[in-house]
Amino acid sequence: MTCLVSQEPTFCHYDEEDGSLCCVMKQHRKRLRIRPWGECCRVEYLQESRLLHPGENPWIDALDEIDLPIFSTRLTGGDLSHPIALYAATLPPDVADAAAVFPSSQLVLLRICASSERGRQLLRLHPNLFWLVAPSLLRHANGSPEMLHDLLGLRQRELLALACGKSRQSLIRIAGKISPPKSAQTQQSLVLDILRSEESIEVLRHKKELPWDMLNVINLWKTHLDDKIIHSILASDMPAQEMETALADQGRIREDTLCLGQTLRIVEAQRIVQTCTSWQQLLHLHDLWTERLNTLRELDRQIRRAKQSAPFPPPPIPGNGHIQPIINAAELLEEGRIMRHCVGSYTGSVRKRERYFYRIVQPKRATLEIAPTGSGHWELRQIKGYHNAGPGKGVLAAVHEWLQLEQFHILKLPWRLREQTPAT
């Protein structure tokens, strides 16, 4: 059984005589028929690729996890005479109301509920759990109503184990805290991936509720939960938006500190960063390693090595009299020494075209960083003054004017700079 994403039909017809919904699917142009509730909402494809024997049924069971948004007003436009709306009106109201909460897997939920009263009961009592395990149930049963009924006789944690490989009562409680998904693009796989991570479970089990914006943040950072500061932020009670901002700040300093450790060839730099238990401790480590990099003896050694290396790739944006590209590793190290920040640790990523730096000499001394977006464009990442101080409005105005003259479009602006950037 293969899993298909949510699909939309290009044509629909409701057969009032036998209660079936017929559709032509946009993705693969096949004709699809969904049988009525009394026939377990069975999904069938029309055989069009071969000659049929006399009397042979042209419709065959579809073993795919077809996900058709049966209760989507976007598809029907709120028109009760639309074929999909006519079919939805024939379904049991309690099942329809419960399944409509989930923008994805609606047809999968219906097929299971129509096949077994146990499914209907699970949807009523534990809707989130049912939504999470429904595709796995259908896959394990291979579409058989009898096998579905037997599988639904398993304990709840055994059902969850079919989907995520873990059988724990605590995971059932976590699933019950999740808010209903807001879009059809939100898939069960995101939640199941989080539940497979021991570190994520430890974060989730203490939270009273789990809105989707928070789940998205946890999913993005779940591979960094061995970092004590990241773990403490994710485990906190702060709203998701504040959590995302705090993680972005911490992530940036964390990345800078790791680059410093690698440049200084500090053994186990990553482990040292991960053991920092507070924001202040990480900042102290960052400043300590920055000072070490920028000390005269260490810097001289780094610059001597840098002078023997090739220059950086050409700057993506030409400079001017006040904003000048930093064209080699020696200049970048010198910039870090003068400005007392960690820019000198990024020589390797500049060579890889992962970022580029400019020195700003007027109206006030600062360092500017841009980075590629992955779509052929560049974005302004940050502007730092002496010892990582803010750039000031005069510098922001000069940078804005420079970017306008070079017809450079800022696709993304660091949040600290948004309110200070001159209006266009």
pLDDT tens for each residue of 200-236: 888 888 888 888 888 888 888 888 888 888 888 888 8
Neighbouring-strand partners of residue 380:
370
Neighbouring-strand partners of residue 330:
none
Higher-scoring residue by pLDDT: 420, 243: 243
Is there a single domain that holds both residue 26 and residue 89?
yes
> For residue 202, is it within any domain?
yes
> For residue 234, is it within any domain?
no
Is there a single domain that holds both residue 251 and residue 319?
no
Is there a single domain that holds both residue 259 and residue 352?
no
The pLDDT tens digits of the residues spanning 320-374 come to 889 999 999 889 988 988 898 888 889 889 999 999 999 999 999 999 999 988 7
> 422 falls in which pLDDT band (50, 70, 90)?
very low
Is there a single domain that holds both residue 2 and residue 115?
yes
Looking at residue 35, its pLDDT comes to: 92
> For residue 283, is it within any domain?
yes
Structural domain count of the chain: 4
Is there a single domain that holds both residue 171 and residue 127?
no
Is there a single domain that holds both residue 250 and residue 215?
no
- Kindly tell me if the per-residue pLDDT of 6 is higher than 80: no
> For residue 23, is it within any domain?
yes
Query: Which residue, 225, 257, 272, sits at the end of a domain?
Result: 225
Looking at residue 63, its pLDDT comes to: 62
Q: Please name the residues in contact with 173: beta carbons below 8 A apart, sequence gap of 6 or more.
A: 205
Looking at residue 424, its pLDDT comes to: 39
Cα separation, 108 vs 99, in Å, equals: 10
Looking at residue 88, its pLDDT comes to: 92
Please state whether beta strands 356-360 and 366-372 pair in parallel, antiparallel, or not at all (unpaired).
Answer: antiparallel
Is there a single domain that holds both residue 209 and residue 83?
no
Looking at residue 21, its pLDDT comes to: 92
Query: Which residue, 193, 225, 257, sits at the end of a domain?
Result: 225
Q: Which two tokens stand for residue 114?
A: 């129509």
> For residue 231, is it within any domain?
no
Q: Specify the DSSP class assigned to residue 178.
A: B
Is there a single domain that holds both residue 1 and residue 144?
yes
Cα separation, 149 vs 251, in Å, equals: 48
Looking at residue 112, its pLDDT comes to: 92
Please state whether beta strands 31-34 and 20-25 pair in parallel, antiparallel, or not at all (unpaired).
Answer: antiparallel
> For residue 299, is it within any domain?
no
Q: Which two tokens stand for residue 151?
A: 């599988």
Neighbours of 223 (CB within 10 A): 12
Residue 316 structural domain: 310-418
The pLDDT tens digits of the residues spanning 20-60 come to 998 887 666 678 889 999 999 888 888 766 665 666 677 77
- Kindly tell me if the per-residue pLDDT of 305 is higher than 80: no
Looking at residue 184, its pLDDT comes to: 59
Looking at residue 421, its pLDDT comes to: 47
Q: Say which range, 46-55, 157-166, 181-190, 312-321, has the weakest mean pLDDT.
A: 46-55
The pLDDT tens digits of the residues spanning 123-156 come to 999 999 999 998 888 888 887 888 989 999 999 9
What mean pLDDT is reported for the chain? 83
Neighbouring-strand partners of residue 114:
none
- Kindly tell me if the per-residue pLDDT of 243 is higher than 60: yes
Give the closest residue to 386 by CA, choosing from 337, 317, 328, 334: 337
Cα separation, 77 vs 57, in Å, equals: 34
Is there a single domain that holds both residue 249 and residue 174?
no
- pLDDT (average), residues 165-190: 80
Is there a single domain that holds both residue 141 and residue 170?
no
Is residue 274 within 8 Å of residue 226, measured between CB atoms? yes
The pLDDT tens digits of the residues spanning 248-275 come to 888 888 888 998 888 888 878 888 988 8
- In percent, how much of the chain has pLDDT > 90? 22
Is there a single domain that holds both residue 332 and residue 283?
no
Type of residue at 321: G
Please state whether beta strands 31-34 and 59-61 pair in parallel, antiparallel, or not at all (unpaired).
Answer: unpaired
Q: Please name the residues in contact with 245: beta carbons below 8 A apart, sequence gap of 6 or more.
A: 415
> 378 falls in which pLDDT band (50, 70, 90)?
confident
Q: Please name the residues in contact with 388: beta carbons below 8 A apart, sequence gap of 6 or more.
A: 341
> For residue 273, is it within any domain?
yes
Report the predicted TM-score, pTM, of the whole model to 2 decimal places: 0.66
Is there a single domain that holds both residue 356 and residue 259?
no
- Kindly tell me if the per-residue pLDDT of 290 is higher than 80: yes
> For residue 233, is it within any domain?
no
